[in-house]
Amino acid sequence: MKTILFTLMCACGWGQIESPQLGVMLDVNGRARPVTGAAAAAVVGTPWFDGAIISLACSAQGCVAKTESALFTPAGVVVDAPPGGAIIALDASSPSAAYVYFVQSGKLARWTGSELVPMDFAPGGDVLSLRAVAGGFEYAVERDGEIWVGGKSLGAANSVLLLDGAGSLLAIDGQVRLLRADGTELDFTVGGLVGGFIRMSDQFVQVITDSGMWALDIAPGREQIFLLPGVSP
Amino acid sequence: MKVRLLCLLALVPGMLEAQVVLYSLNGIAPSALGSVYGYGQVAAGDSMIVRFRALNTGTASVTITCLSVKNTTGAGFSIVNSSSTPFVVAAGQPMDFFVGFSATAITSYAATLQVGTGTATDACGGTIESAILLATVVPAPILSVATPCTGPDANRTISFGRITQATQQSCTFSILNPFPQALTVSPLLVTGASFTTTSGNAVTIAAGQSASFTIQFSPASGSAFTGTLTVGTRTYTLAGTGFSPPLSALVWNFDSTKIGSGEQHTLSLQLSAPATVSAAGTMTLTFIPSVKAVTADAAVRFVATSTRVASFAVTVGATAITLNAQPNIVFSTGTTAGTITFTVDSGIYGLSGSPSTSVTTAPAAVVLASSAATSRANQLDVVISGFDNTYSIGGMTFSFVDRSGAAIASILADFTTDFQTFFKGQTGSSFLMRASFPVTGDVSQVGGVTVVLNNSAGVVTTPSLKFP
């Protein structure tokens, strides 16, 4: 180590400072809006799609959104899709790819980034969440009043979101519980009944309640929940 | 033929009278005047004025040369206002005049009203329209009112003053009979939604005695109210004003006494005493940065609505104020040091004490949201996000260590210009910075880096960031 084998040179320029992107949220009107700024001082931007979105998932690789009749990406790829909402699990191992479960029809498909490829799927219960895992996917179903992932019960909950890795989010009345893969739990209180989760980005999850929109920072060590800016009437 | 015509005209004056027809006016509605017009009962000492009209119903103009009132019984009638005669009235046009009556003696009065259209020289001779005017003077009781009411004034108005709405003001009225015989006052009536009395609708008062009664004024809302009090032949105006008392002083409750940038806080409002009226208004938020180079921060606002205005409401009897229909409201402090001021506008309801309060977010060292280190083939990248509420970030120190943790190099860098340029296009101080370091040699030997960031308020150091 006495011989320094490298030299360091600063090469910062204009383009290397930008506004931090927290993710994409769905506002109360179903418009997908980018969220920027600091966590508790976030600012929402203009919708990137002039229409109502009913399902959405975003990550560092991008977003996949579902309208009533189509699946599309912000890049402009649009394909027809079964009606109703969808559960979207982005596949970090394959950029632009995702698993998409169409709730109304009970059909599962693989989104390749340009088309939907149907998949055989017999979940044996109401599918509540999906996540991509190495070589496939996992899903959560409700059986006998409890949330099950494979043979593991997560207990009773109003909503669930399977996180990348082995963690998950559970909504229990006015509480959101973050279950880590290591078995640790963190609880967050929200002002109202949780109606669902939306993956805003790799780091943030939108928590939809009957009293407001929240964002939960799920990054290890930085877990916090804050209100997302609302949209003026 | 000429003689016969003149005789006919003398015998049938109605043919000429038809050119000028008399009317009395109650307000603006004319009523054809008969041969007798009664003023009715007039209280002793009071005056009563009636408006009359002489209308030219012919097709040619007519000159009114005479306008007179001749008192035939007593002396109470007089013309109080009219145009001077001779007065030319065009076809179809009127001449209005006013005849007043006033007397003190308790008796009956009569007079003859005459309107003549003869030649200028024979005044009220010739063709005359006339009517008998009658009036009766009756004893007038003397009305007085005790404090807090005042009056009656020259316009016969009795004032109950200003009182809080939904409360009651009672005033005692007294009717004095100054005459040497008993006096029956009828009617004795009170009208007006906010005025009530328990008195009967008539009262008999012995000679030289008084009768008392009360009238209550109960304004239901904050506005002016009027009513009438009829005492025999006299009518008085009852007047009073209800008003809303100002809301009591505000009690501001923040969820924390320590408020900094990049935070969300909850504000609730209370009144120091129960509201005496249901009230509503607005609460506004304003922000004045303490950083000279910055004029605004879009993130400083009420979060739920992304606005700086919220509605407030309080119900009568309550102290808790709702904000946007909720018991409290969440606001964001943004990422700029400064003063956030909340101001309540209670509008017509008024407010005791100050309508405003302020919280200050002090300049602070850079707040880090995330930091990471990555490496590429010939380059090391350090990514840091956070905010600087002083907008003075720039100076940094990057301390690199090898895989064993031994120091390799420490690089001082000044990104002040870059940040100032970046901040000019922002409303807020949030940033995501990527610092890249070209490497000559074996990049894998670099194990980690620690970054010290400076601003005008202090220094912050990242955790030790490991290169993969």
Cβ of A192 under 8 Å from any chain B Cβ?
A: no
Locate A209 and state its tokens: 């309640």
What percentage of residues in chain B have a pLDDT greater than 70?
A: 94
Residue B166 has pLDDT above 70, yes or no: yes
pLDDT of residue A212: 85
- Which residue in B126, B388, B334, B30 sits closest to A17, CA to CA? B388
**E runs forming strands in B83-209:** 87-89, 94-102, 108-116, 128-138, 142-145, 157-164, 169-176, 183-185, 188-191, 195-197, 203-205
What percentage of residues in chain B have a pLDDT greater than 90?
A: 66
Alpha-carbon distance B345 to B323, whole Å?
A: 13
pLDDT of residue A202: 93
Among B residues 375-434, those touching chain A with beta carbons less than 8 Å apart: 380, 385-387, 398, 400, 402, 404, 406, 408-409, 411, 413, 415, 418-419, 421-422, 426-428, 430-434
Residue in B303, B442, B443 nearest the CB of A229 = B303
Distance from CA of A22 to the nearest CA of B (A): 11
CB contact under 8 A, B299 and A43: yes
Give the SS3 label for residue A218.
coil
Residue B66 has pLDDT above 90, yes or no: no
**At which residue do the structure tokens 């807020």 appear?**
B428
Domain B250-361 listed as CATH 1.25.40: no
pLDDT of residue B126: 65
- Residues of chain A below pLDDT 70: 1-15, 231-233
Domain B367-466 listed as CATH 3.40.50: no
What percentage of residues in chain A have a pLDDT greater than 70?
A: 92
pLDDT of residue A11: 47
Residues of B whose CB is below 8 A from A208 = none
Residues of B whose CB is below 8 A from A38 = 262, 299, 335, 367, 369, 386-387, 428, 430
CB contact under 8 A, B409 and A8: yes
Which residue ranges make up each domain of chain B? 2-138, 142-243, 250-361, 367-466
Alpha-carbon distance B227 to B383, whole Å?
A: 78
Domains of chain A: 21-226 (2.120.10.30)
Cα-based distances in Å from B86 to B64, B95, B98, B121, B130: 5, 11, 17, 10, 17
pLDDT of residue B76: 93
More confident call, A49 vs B258: B258
- Across the range B296-301, mean pLDDT stands at 94
pLDDT tens, B364-377? 999 999 999 998 88
Alpha-carbon distance B238 to A145, whole Å?
A: 72
Assign B393 a pLDDT band (cuts: 50, 70, 90).
Answer: very high
Residue B4 has pLDDT above 70, yes or no: no
More confident call, B186 vs B259: B259
Assign B346 a pLDDT band (cuts: 50, 70, 90).
Answer: confident
pLDDT tens, B105-144? 989 999 999 998 876 555 566 667 889 999 999 888 899 9
- Across the range B379-383, mean pLDDT stands at 91
SS3 content of chain A, % helix, strand, coil (to 5): 0, 50, 45
Alpha-carbon distance B380 to B376, whole Å?
A: 6
pLDDT of residue B5: 38
| CATH ID of B2-138, from 3.30.460.20, 2.60.40.10, 1.10.3720.10, 3.20.20.100 | 2.60.40.10
Distance from CA of A137 to the nearest CA of B (A): 27
Burial class (CB in 10 A: 0-12, 13-18, 19+), B60: exposed
Distance from CA of A226 to the nearest CA of B (A): 7
pLDDT of residue A231: 63
**What architecture is the B142-243 domain classified under in CATH?**
Sandwich (2.60)
Give the CA angle between residues B261, A18, A46 to the nearest 5°.
80
Mean pLDDT across chain B: 89
Residue B169 has pLDDT above 50, yes or no: yes
Cα-based distances in Å from B195 to B144, B168, B230, B359, B446: 17, 10, 13, 49, 92
Nearest CA in chain A to B440: A6
Locate A19 and state its tokens: 């506004």
